[in-house]
A and B are shown apart, each in its own frame.
Chain A
């Protein structure tokens, strides 16, 4: 027996047709459906991505797989003559950097160049962390590694794998092995000025920045042309738990560590920072002489588990072991607001594209919706039967009936958990006005106590809220509950065409959004099609 079935899974579809449509369906575990139903139609398993079995080295222990989506644009014009060398920065990247810098010394000095070096504003897309950097549908099914395209970068064991998102191939097109330590976190910025667009953080605390294209061009299994930061953990030797490019940050990035410190990095070089006196106290130290990292933020006691920038880069949300969500103004380094989970650590966080809401998930099995306007938790999503390990807003989705005349007050988001399930939710703010959405008798709600009034009271800015009581927070129920893997899940990404789910062991499933051809009754799908026709969407074909 694989698992006792969860009562919630009744909500997912019960038919088993269409099993053969999925690539790699040979490994389908019994009881795993290849599609799930939503009000707008069926999401179908399009294909899977994985890593070659048996080739993994767990010399440094297992680590949880994370996925970064990377869209590689056209090659820089001068970069064609790249003969990749295994040491140093390749000529392709060098020349790209030189273009901006006017012949500087590689990427080292780049960090202090003024803010208008690149053509950042050319792409109108949002850059929420590394997740939504997917562009329009000009994909080239790649056969060589030189082309532009969309890639999945994921870590398993001591390796980083790169897969082509739009190819049917289950196996990755590239693997990079790390002999010293496991890669844990990664981030991609398509507009990174010096061509070093991919960041990789290791369990040892080491951080590399590389050119993704250069890795794809290289035939070997080693990282090429890497800039090495925090070498051998000389600044911080704890696990690099999360890494992010600063949006419009001129090549600066943030590295979060397992000891509650966060570093704002720039060029290279490793200064020393004063010893933290009070582990519980937030503090920021700046490096003298603009060395690298340029600042250390001590956030909390215990690990930082996830960081996420708001799409405009003004704010950074940080969650960690102590269960607090903290939102900082990135420029002024001030704590804006934040609060405690119901209980236990928070494991993941993300922003809505408009910057109004933050989702977090954690060890209390809840998906929290934090409102930046109200500076408090406005809803708890109840539906996971284990820890929530990944959350994401579906920025490509818009509510049916929303024709652009009224404000879009419905947000679609997804969450994945260690219960092996993906859940989809609709957040309608008007629905949440009622304090208790739950049917009376569903839970012991003998409230009207003074505690809730106290909790609702305006909280002074710059302070952290305590955990709310169970009855004080409106509850959301999931729209869809679908069991995806036999292993606990670790993340999800929405793209224009699909939803990606990944499990801890490094298996990725790509679920195609509903289209007219995949509608259950495709002959008479006219109504369904019109329902989905929204100005900003436009599916392929």
Chain B
């Protein structure tokens, strides 16, 4: 491990970013699903910074109770405060806490990285909301959640009755989808908003993320068995439905639905489809006036041919270098190597390393206008 570390340091040379640490994470038996996601989150700089900031400003009373948030913050602190620039860390407390808290992750079976990410983010949100509610009387403690972007729900925030709190986790990951349904009889459009922390996209062979996003928000007709109950017509009617992105998130997490239940087989199958993802992306199907522009900074990769076994690794962009994290091992890779994780154009291929969760960070608006 020391050799690998020094190799990375040698590769980066004097380009080693000031104050940055690149540490591999030890595997405790099939915990690669966890390690790969943790690396992606660690190199999600706004998330890391806000977590560490929150942790340091709340340390006094966070000592009392251990939870996933404190364990994650501990782990990140441990990495950032390392004297060495590279090496290996054992995320022991975090993994123990995770297993203690959720029996799904307790076994030594192969786990789904997306399920873990989803669980973790929701858990963090819950903890923050709980703490905020408990400390409601003390206005200083929720300092990190006072600025609400774009003014949504601003009018309600002081009422704090049923409106969910917008925590810094929300501010990073939450976007709002609007589900527009147009009754084909009365033409009334019903819009229903829903929040999301990531987008799960259906995939097809030899397509791009752009195309999958387009399909995601394409118009769908509700008819036959699947009619829509129109409030105005007071009956089931044929309708057209489409999803639009009302508020694009700061960090756009895209989950490729590579594990698909095949009814004929009675089990899940891994789709190894080649789905290309660009290093830059724009969401054009937004309600907002400007196209939201994003830049790719992390990819969680599933390695293996089936859903129940395999391995997870991650690709991370840090200070304009791409790095490859495989549990304990950290390597520098060329940007062009990202292309080797798109998937395979043929069903049976020796290449089984496929991009599974993509992390895009919003680029400052203002370059186009």
- A-side residues, CB < 8 A to B, are 1-4, 6, 258, 302-303, 323, 342-345, 363-365, 384-387, 418-420, 443-444, 446, 449, 451, 454, 466-470, 486-488, 504
Contact = CB atoms under 8 A, between A and B. Distances in A.
A16 to B, nearest CB: 21
B347 interface: yes
B219 to A, nearest CB: 9
B211 A343 contact: no
B279 A345 contact: yes
B285 A386 contact: no
B362 interface: no
B141 interface: no
Contacts of A443: 284-285
A423 to B, nearest CB: 14
Contact of A488 (B206, B281, B347): B206
Interface residues of B, number: 33
Nearest to B204: A4
Nearest to B347: A2
Contact of A467 (B205, B274, B335, B368): B368
B122 interface: no
Contacts of A363: 208, 276, 278-280
A3 B290 contact: no
Given A444-B244, A487-B346, A451 B208 contact: no
A446 B205 CA distance: 33
B297 to A, nearest CB: 15
Given A3-B204, A364-B282, A451-B290, 6 more contacts: A6-B207, A345-B278, A385-B208, A387-B276, A443-B285, A469-B291
A183 to B, nearest CB: 17
Interface of B: 204-208, 210-211, 214, 244, 273-274, 276, 278-282, 284-287, 289-291, 293, 335-336, 345-347, 367-369
B211 A470 contact: no
Contact of B211 (A302, A385, A420, A451): A385
Contacts of B369: 451, 454
A428 B336 CA distance: 37
B205 A2 contact: yes
A387 B208 contact: yes
Contact of B278 (A344, A444, A470): A344
B280 A386 contact: no
A127 to B, nearest CB: 31
Contacts of B210: 364-365
A504 B53 CA distance: 48
B289 A344 contact: no
Given A365-B210, A451-B369, A4 B278 contact: no
Nearest to B244: A444
25 contacts: A4-B204, A302-B335, A303-B336, A342-B282, A363-B208, A363-B280, A365-B210, A384-B211, A385-B204, A385-B208, A386-B206, A386-B207, A387-B278, A418-B208, A446-B289, A451-B369, A454-B369, A466-B367, A466-B368, A467-B368, A468-B368, A469-B290, A469-B368, A470-B282, A488-B345
Contacts of A302: 335
A418 B214 CA distance: 17
Given A343-B282, A386-B276, A444-B287, A3 B206 contact: yes
What 8 A-B pairs are tightest by C-beta distance, nearest first? Answer: A3-B205, A344-B278, A385-B211, A363-B278, A4-B204, A386-B208, A470-B284, A343-B280
B240 to A, nearest CB: 10
Q: Which among B206, B211, B346, B347 has the greatest number of chain A C-beta atoms within 10 A?
A: B206
B96 to A, nearest CB: 41
A345 B287 CA distance: 26
Q: Which among A6, A303, A363 has the greatest number of chain B C-beta atoms within 10 A?
A: A363
B268 to A, nearest CB: 15
A6 B205 CA distance: 9
B262 to A, nearest CB: 9
Nearest to B334: A258
Given A387-B276, A444-B285, A467-B368, A343 B205 contact: no
Contacts of A385: 204, 206-208, 211, 214
A1 B37 CA distance: 31
Given A444-B287, A486-B345, A487-B346, A4 B282 contact: no
B207 A323 contact: no
B212 to A, nearest CB: 9
A420 B205 CA distance: 10
A343 B293 contact: yes
A367 B276 CA distance: 17
A468 B282 CA distance: 12
Contacts of A418: 206, 208, 274, 276
A342 B210 CA distance: 12
Q: Which among A6, A343, A418, A449 has the greatest number of chain B C-beta atoms within 10 A?
A: A343
A400 B312 CA distance: 56
Q: Which among B214, B274, B278, B286 has the greatest number of chain A C-beta atoms within 10 A?
A: B278
Contacts of B281: 343-344
Nearest to A323: B280
A468 B274 CA distance: 29
Nearest to B274: A488
A1 B244 CA distance: 31
A343 B347 CA distance: 29
Q: Which among B207, B346, B367 has the greatest number of chain A C-beta atoms within 10 A?
A: B207
Contacts of B208: 363, 365, 385-387, 418-419
Contacts of B286: 444
Q: Which among A4, A446, A451 has the greatest number of chain B C-beta atoms within 10 A?
A: A4
Nearest to A5: B204
Nearest to A489: B206
Contacts of A364: 210, 278, 282
A488 B273 CA distance: 12
Contacts of A488: 206, 274, 345
A364 B281 CA distance: 8
A317 B208 CA distance: 26
Nearest to A466: B368
A255 B178 CA distance: 49
Nearest to B277: A363
A280 B182 CA distance: 48
Q: Which among B291, B293, B335 has the greatest number of chain A C-beta atoms within 10 A?
A: B291
Nearest to A386: B208
A387 B339 CA distance: 12
A338 to B, nearest CB: 16
Nearest to A454: B369
Nearest to B281: A343
A40 B208 CA distance: 31
Contacts of A419: 206-208, 211
Nearest to B295: A343
